[in-house]
Amino acid sequence: MKQKQVLFVVAECQKFVQTGGLADVAGSLPKAVNGISRAYKVRVIMPLYRTIIKKYEKKLKFLGSTTVSLAWRHLYCGVYTMKLDKIDYYFIDNKYYFDRDEIYGHYDDGERFAFFSKSIFDSFSIIGFIPDIIHTHDWHSALVNIYLDILYKKNGRFAEIKSLFTIHNIQYQGIFDLSFSDDIIGIDSTYCEIIEYNGLINLIKGAIVCSDLVTTVSPRYAREITTAYYAHGLENITRIYNKKIVGITNGIDIEFYNPATDENLAVNYTDETIEHKQQNKAALQASFNLNPNLDIPLICIISRLVAHKGLDLVVDQFEEIMKEKVQIVILGKGDSYYQDKFQEFMRRYPGRVCTLIAFDINLSKKIYGSCDFLLMPSKAEPCGLSQMIASRYGTVPIVRAVGGLYDTVKPYNDGEGGGFVFKEYSGSEMTSAIKEAINLYNNKDKYQELMKKIMRTDFSWNVSAKSYLQLYKELIKNK
């Protein structure tokens, strides 16, 4: 049987450029799927950002160029490729759109990713294959599924392509005013109904309508987004299309995140040598100006500093939490409100709080490998990876039972589950969970048992990659 080709279309991917969890998934799921099946081959395509050119200039190979039409524009599109960790990556080049310092946050992001999405179809003749399945992620590539359905399914060569759309976070929908349709993406008003929602263009809505299948990054989130609280206005759409929305929990790359080999740690350890982890804690306390004390529980927050991560609860409860014997490390960047608050806490509690405003994978690994607890009180959490990464490093998660956190962290309950869990979005509930965690920490034997248990839990992609493969097969079967 001929090998089936799957093309991942993403705006970010680990080892190239990363601002959040999407890049983790794009960087590890293709490898996992390719690892379990020869019948399917996943490759990845993304924009050629400035940082990628800088990092991989010598490895990138130019494949060819073409002209892409986007409404009235005719735009240069170069295609590059390189192989990394056995995966074939392709890159769409257009200096005007992508040779910039930041990958998002520009006034013309809509146009930039519309160009990227449109160029995918023009790139097939250059990359040398037409995918059987296109698998897109979040609003940046949602237009691919829309173009496929509206424009290209009518074209003989592309008519057979199936499309899968993964929602990593329904909060970011790709919303633009109505002129976007005609002027930027070149879709005329006949199709407006598909991409219009509440008087605006909404790309996530369009992708849900146009895709053959939709996934969310956890089963719980698939259910949550049919309710108004979590759907950010799209609940009517997710309810109508509920049958084609499937939740598959993300995994993590357990080689990339491995305390036994991680070079960022002062000392490596496994579940059997877990006592060594204390040396990392000592090193971290020393380098982060925290009081040297191995008996005091060290809690970390490793997160984008944005509201849906539940940081209001942390800000509100900070004084209350600091009444306990604890130290806190915060690593992340985002809204200046939270950045300022957490920096203020560091000034207010010298030796007890350390705030680092950065997105830094290596530093995050060092922190996972040195702390006792991870706090993740999210208001909404499509999947969440930090709780799984923390567990892999024996760092016990304290989470709100929402989305993927609900699916991956079961309440400790005297040894049953792998973390501390609270339900309501309430500061006092969060603080009670933290106190419960500290209580257990003071019972060294039980705490160690829990650390070992979570380190042994399988958070790899094994199970989820099989589920994706199953979906790919279903899509092909229905061809």
**Site of interaction with ligand GLC (CB under 6 A):** 20-22, 25, 168-169, 217, 250, 381-385, 404
- How near is the Cβ of 406 to ligand GLC at its closest, in Å? 12
Q: Which residue is nearest to ligand GLC (CB)?
A: 21
Q: 344-357: buried (b, 16+ CB within 10 Å) or exposed (e) per residue?
A: ebbeebeebbbbbb
Q: From the CB of 141, what's the least distance to ligand GLC, in Å?
A: 14
Identify any residues that bridge with 214 across adjacent strands, giving them in sequence order: 165, 245
Distance CA 129, CA 328 (A): 51
Q: Tell me if 6 sits within 8 A of 132, measured CB to CB.
A: yes
Q: Is 270 helix (H, G, I), strand (E, B) or coil?
A: coil
Crossing angle of helices 138-147 and 109-127, rounded to 10°: 60
Shortest Cβ distance from residue 253 to ligand GLC (Å)? 12
Quickly tell me which residue has 């305390």 as its tokens.
259
How many Å apart are CA 246 and CA 424, to the nearest integer? 25
Report in angstroms how near the CB of residue 250 gets to ligand GLC at its nearest. Answer: 5
CB of 430 to ligand GLC, least distance (A): 18
Nearer to ligand GLC, 382 or 394 (CB): 382
Nearer to ligand GLC, 94 or 171 (CB): 171
Which element (helix H / strand E) includes 313? Answer: helix 311-322
User: What is d(CA 444, CA 288) in angstroms, rounded to the nearest whole number?
Assistant: 25
Least Å distance, CB 171 to ligand GLC, is 8
Which positions ≥6 away from 391 have C-beta within 8 Å?
397, 409, 418, 419, 454, 455, 457, 459
Decide whether 6 or 326 has the Cβ nearer to ligand GLC: 6
